[in-house]
Amino acid sequence: IDGYNACVYVDPTPDLLKSLKKRQQEDQKKQALLQELKGKPNTTLDGKTINVFANIGGMSDVGAVQQNDAGGVGLFRTEFVYLNCKDFPTEDYQFEAYKQVVESLAPRKVVVRTCDIGADKTVDYMKLDHEDNPALGYRAIRICLTRKDFFKTQLRALLRASAYGNMSIMFPMITSLRELQDAKAVLEECRAELTAEGVKMGQNIEVGTMIETPAAVLIADELAAECDFFSIGTNDLIGYTMCADRGNDTISNLYQVYYPAVLRSLKNIIESGVKAGIMVGMCGEAAADPLLEPLLISWGLEEFSMSAPSILRARKTISQWTKAECDELAEKALACNTAAEVKALLESAAR
Ligand code: PEP
Ligand code: MG
């Protein structure tokens, strides 16, 4: 299997096998060198600390977080807790699932995303209607805000689990200020209930929002005033900005982070967050793109969250750039007119 080029060879020729083995050995050497970064501070070449975190789907991913020396978790996709159940998971079941994760990673921060069910992630027991365009349909926060009991079950479980570690909470698929305010209001309602019940909770739980829709990009300044942090979800943001489904091979040339429209969106989000004094992170796959990382540093991204195997490589890339060098590259990238031009520029500058 040639994972770099997404190819599987059933009966490779000896020459092909030889070249793939060579590539594998080179990769193993690189991996071995990267191990030396473990335990070291994670900074740019001119000393700015950057968080490199992991994305997880549950307790089974915690080992990889530790093995790859991630500073924390920037995205815990809680919908996997729902996908692993045959019926609605109870508050106690969810409490245990969240508690195990935050407790085993404490004092590291764990950013938990509330349920992002719908579209490509569905469960039969929710009995969601068939939709022609599920990615633009009834999903994520839209479900949570209309099925308040369902949402409250999760939020109560999260607040209870927050007592056992360092938890932040964020909401997916936000498209308006009202949605963010309503989600925060339900969270506060749960907090008040649990306080009245005498349940212990974490003290300083930060509340943030994912920025993964063009609507959120355009009102990023208003959203920033209402939350503690942003986490950019490029997987959805690229798709919704370019109107290109991430799973559709026919138009995959449009599904690229290098398009000027996407780059300008990223800059706008990060700068809006920085201006409002809130932390801006990224948990979409683009955070693990070594070509993009210098631009994100230039604009002020503070937290990069990715699948665990990419962490050490990202730390290496980040350590090779100064802010001034990133700024120079970012300026050139924004002056490009096409995605191909941007990509060629970033490739020529790659370290
Ligand atoms: C994203 O959209 O970038 C993201 C992290 O969320 P998901 O991939 O789970 O939709
Ligand atoms: Mg998403």
For residue 296, the one-letter residue type is L
Residue-wise pLDDT tens digits, 80-126:
999 999 999 999 999 999 999 999 999 999 999 999 998 888 999 99
Structural contact between residues 56 and 76, judged by C-beta atoms closer than 8 angstroms:
yes
How many CB atoms are closer than 10 A to CB 310?
A: 21
Structural contact between residues 316 and 68, judged by C-beta atoms closer than 8 angstroms:
no
Give first-to-last CA distance, the chain, whole Å. Answer: 26
Give the distance (Å) from ligand 2 centre to CA of residue 20.
34
Predicted local confidence at residue 6, as pLDDT: 86
Average pLDDT across the chain, whole number: 97
Which of 116-120, 144-148, 226-230, 263-267 has the weakest average pLDDT?
116-120
Atom of ligand 1 nearest to the CA of 231: 5
Residue nearest to atom 1 of ligand 1 (CA): 233
Predicted local confidence at residue 119, as pLDDT: 82
pTM: 0.95
Instruction: Pick the closest to residue 155 from 118, 112, 200 (CA basis).
Output: 112
Ramachandran category for residue 89: left, alpha or beta (phi over 0 → left; psi -120 to 50 → alpha): beta
Q: Which ligand has the nearest atom to the CA of 121?
A: 1
- Please compute the mean of the pLDDT values over residues 167-194 and round it to a whole number: 98
Atom of ligand 1 nearest to the CA of 236: 2
Give the distance (Å) from ligand 2 centre to CA of residue 40.
31
Q: Which residue from 136, 139, 283 has its CB within 8 A of the most atoms of ligand 1, so it is best to mutate?
A: 283
**The two structure tokens encoding residue 333:** 């990238």
Binning the chain into helix, strand and coil, the percentages to the nearest 5 are 55, 15, 35
Q: Which ligand has the nearest atom to the CA of 120?
A: 1
DSSP one-letter code for 309:
G
Atom of ligand 1 nearest to the CA of 55: 5
Which are the contacts of 50, defined by CB distance < 8 A and separation ≥ 6? 42, 43, 44, 297, 301, 302, 303, 304, 318
Q: Which residue from 79, 120, 122, 236 has its CB within 8 A of the most atoms of ligand 1, so it is best to mutate?
A: 236
Predicted local confidence at residue 120, as pLDDT: 80
Residues flanking ligand 1, CB < 6 Å: 75, 77, 116, 212, 233-236, 283-284
Predicted local confidence at residue 3, as pLDDT: 86
- Please compute the mean of the pLDDT values over residues 64-73 and round it to a whole number: 97
Predicted local confidence at residue 9, as pLDDT: 95
Instruction: Pick the closest to residue 227 from 175, 266, 280, 271 (CA basis).
Output: 280
Give the distance (Å) from ligand 2 centre to CA of residue 9.
32
Q: Which ligand has the nearest atom to the CA of 286?
A: 1
For the chain, count helices (H), then strands (E): 15, 8
Distance CA 44, CA 319 (A): 4
What are the φ and ψ backbone dihedral angles of 16, each rounded to 5 degrees?
A: -65, -45
Give the distance (Å) from ligand 1 centre to CA of residue 170.
12
- Please compute the mean of the pLDDT values over residues 229-236 and round it to a whole number: 98
**The two structure tokens encoding residue 123:** 């469960």
Atom of ligand 1 nearest to the CA of 120: 10
Burial, 277: exposed, middle or buried (Cβ in 10 Å; 0-12, 13-18, 19+)? Answer: exposed
Give the distance (Å) from ligand 2 centre to CA of residue 217.
14
Residue nearest to atom 9 of ligand 1 (CA): 77
Give the distance (Å) from ligand 2 centre to CA of residue 213.
9
Give the distance (Å) from ligand 1 centre to CA of residue 241.
14
Residue-wise pLDDT tens digits, 25-56:
999 999 999 999 999 999 999 999 999 999 99
- Please compute the mean of the pLDDT values over residues 129-139 and round it to a whole number: 93
DSSP string, 173-210: S--SHHHHHHHHHHHHHHHHHHHHTT----SS-EEEEE
CA atoms within 13 A on the CB side of 322: 4
Residue-wise pLDDT tens digits, 261-297:
999 999 999 999 999 999 999 999 999 999 999 999 9
What residues pair up with 232 in beta bridges, in sequence order?
Answer: 211, 282
Per-residue pLDDT for 4 more than 90? no
